[in-house]
Amino acid sequence: MFEKILIANRGEIACRIMKTARRLGIKTVAVYSEVDAGALHVSMADEAICIGAAPASESYLNQDKIIDACRQTGAQAVHPGYGFLSERAEFARRLEAEKIAFIGPNPHAIEAMGDKIESKKFANEARVSTVPGYLGVIESPDQAVEIAAGIGYPVMIKASAGGGGKGMRIAWNADEVRDGYVRSKSEAASSFGDDRVFIEKFIENPRHIEIQVLGDKHGNVIHLLERECSIQRRNQKVLEEAPSPLLDEATRQEMGSQAIALSKAVDYDSAGTVEFVVDQQKNFYFLEMNTRLQVEHPVTELVTGVDLVEHMIRVAAGETLSLTQADIKPNGWAIESRVYAEDPKRNFMPSIGRLVRYQPPETLEVGDCTIRNDTGVVEGDEVSLYYDPMLAKLITHGPTRAEAIETMSGALDHFNVEGIETNIQFLSVLMNHDRWKSGELATSFLDDEFPDGFIIDGAEAAKSKVMAAVSFAIEILKRTRLDHLTGRLRPHSGNLRSSWVMSLDGAEIPVEVLGGFPETPSDLELSIGGSEPIHVTSSWSPGQALWLGSVDGENVVVRVHSYAGSCRLQWRGFAANARLMTQRIAELNRLMPDKSDADSGKVLRCPMPGLIVSLEVKEGQSVKAGDTLAVVEAMKMENVLRAERDCVVETISASVGESLAVDSVIMEFQQAE
């Protein structure tokens, strides 16, 4: 067994690998870029080496510096995690030449399966079911259109070396093929240094289901059941679970058998994932093989009880697999939520800045359920635009899918993040979505259910008696505390009134206190909008970020952001600004004029912190609604900004290659004649 390994990665996956290495008694070496000097993975490791500037090409993708770090520290092996160098056969070969073990598959398997064109050829030879498509290299947009027409629309344009949704476009007509071909090649070159793309039939209303495999260097390969990863946005996974709600045992075994056959065809000897696209009738087609540890591997670990990182290390050290297929038995259900630094209100654009507050739920057992939090950041860290915006992976496990979902919903409520925007509220909405709960999934789920994006409607919170009851308990406690402050000029005297109006983002809800106020309003009997009595108890005090209490016997956790005269609450996907008013104040408040938003159609603003890749128009040019105006790159993803209406470009304030902050003005318009 190795005495010391180097982790050629950062963030949560580097921390995750270090935990297993520490349990095995193996010392760890971290590498870091200049902006990651204070990162969590650096402090967790036994040793740490700075390998360059912030851009990945100068640090985490720099093979020379990583190999040199191995020489300096005496590391006997390298675990690449996922992303960066994890699927670079050249890197594995260079390590082999240096007599340093690569904790991953052999270079031949990486090349065969890492190239999506070649992997399809291997799959065909191994008699694995594949999607119809064109596997040759495509040289021009015109050729792409010709191929797409022959396959039949819709088609998927994909980068041969792609992954993580980068270099991938769906096209429904010739124009979209031309545009998608150009964008896919550009993203592929930027992200993977390989601009080759191919085209295949897009299966409508599909599900994304993958099989985890594990092989050793002695010809043994097993599969560890499946994961369902159908909840995706921009072809990138958001939620994953194991097992799949769709599969029956016969389909599961057939998919597992084909995954093993493909793995053996390339002498696969590590942890890997064979991905399939599956239609609603359970017909499945090979999609690609990821020759590395997957982001979503924890759900498999919780369902099977197998530490995949440990077995990767043992296999790389030459050990024979200690598991057989008969040892792999499913136990319960696991769900993973990816917590990203992104703003759902701005079409999920990345959000950068400092984590002013970062308090995730703890890893613990709750009855028969488990909460696991794999994170790579701590409070005070800076989220930069150089790397993937994932903050953490929250995983829950329970005896049933319903219990795992309920545990996840409660755990998300315990997350407390300030300083940047996150997708936590969006994840909470998904956990309480009826279609998600029913298991009727497809990769188009988010587009189907949120066609206009994630719109936060505070008035929806008014429908929740829990939100109204909690917001009232918070605001009345704050008022009572003020009434008892020593030296207040006009202290409250007499009994508090029993009739109030609670406003949740403008939606008014009458609240009646039943039985009079207790001396400290931490135990209340309320009627919400004329409802039956609701009992509310809590030990919350002003200043605490989480309200933990009980509403009608249900344990509730609500995030609280207090402001002067009001507070903002978030719970189970609901969010609203709460304001407590007397009935008279509520009457006067209704007479206040509404403020209308200024017309934003006259300017194009940068929707995220990013780099201007191209400007497609000139000053004085007339454009039509839908025309491309500019392309902005953020975290290796290209975002096309289009005109919302017919107009004329008046001034252009930005230039190609310029880095812009969110909401920076790119260009201004005047109305078309």
Q: How far apart are CA 46 and CA 29, in angstroms?
A: 6
Residue with the two structure tokens 């073990």: 101
Residue 590 — φ and ψ, nearest 5°?
-70, -20
Q: Which of 239, 630, 206, 629 is nearest to 408 (CA)?
A: 239
Q: How far apart are CA 511 and CA 531, in angstroms?
A: 9
Give 427's strand partners: none
Q: How far apart are CA 463 and CA 441, in angstroms?
A: 27
3-state secondary structure 605-633: ECCCCEEEEEECCCCCCEECCCCEEEEEE
**Annotated active-site residue in 12, 200, 228, 288:** 288
With a CB cutoff of 8 Å and minimum separation 6, the contacts of 72 are 49
Q: How far apart are CA 545 and CA 564, in angstroms?
A: 15
Residue 378 — φ and ψ, nearest 5°?
-135, 165
Residue 466 — φ and ψ, nearest 5°?
-65, -50
Question: At residue 666, what is the residue type?
Answer: I
Q: How far apart are CA 455 and CA 350, in angstroms?
A: 17
Q: How far apart are CA 522 and CA 548, in angstroms?
A: 11
Q: Exposure string (b/e) for 575-607, b if CB count within 10 Å is 16 or more?
A: bbbbbbbeeeebeeeeeeeeeeeeeeeeebebb
3-class SS of residue 95: helix
Tokens of 623: 């454009």
Q: How far apart are CA 208 and CA 202, in angstroms?
A: 12
Residue with the two structure tokens 């969590």: 40
Residue with the two structure tokens 């040793």: 47
Tell me, yes or no, if 587 is annotated catalytic.
no
Q: How far apart are CA 53 and CA 43, in angstroms?
A: 19
Q: Which of 548, 544, 597 is nearest to 571 (CA)?
A: 548
Q: What is the DSSP letter of 376?
A: -
* Beta carbons of 104 and 90 less than 8 angstroms apart: no
Which stretches does DSSP call E strand in 478-594? 499-504, 507-513, 523-528, 534-538, 546-551, 554-563, 566-571, 574-581
Question: At residue 657, what is the residue type?
Answer: G
Q: Return left, alpha or beta for 515; rule: phi > 0 is left, psi -120 to 50 is alpha, else beta.
A: left
Q: Return left, alpha or beta for 222; rule: phi > 0 is left, psi -120 to 50 is alpha, else beta.
A: beta
3-class SS of residue 56: helix
**Residue-wise DSSP of 229-246:** EEEEETTEEEEEEES-SS
CA atoms within 13 A on the CB side of 290: 22
Q: Catalogue the active-site residues.
A: 288
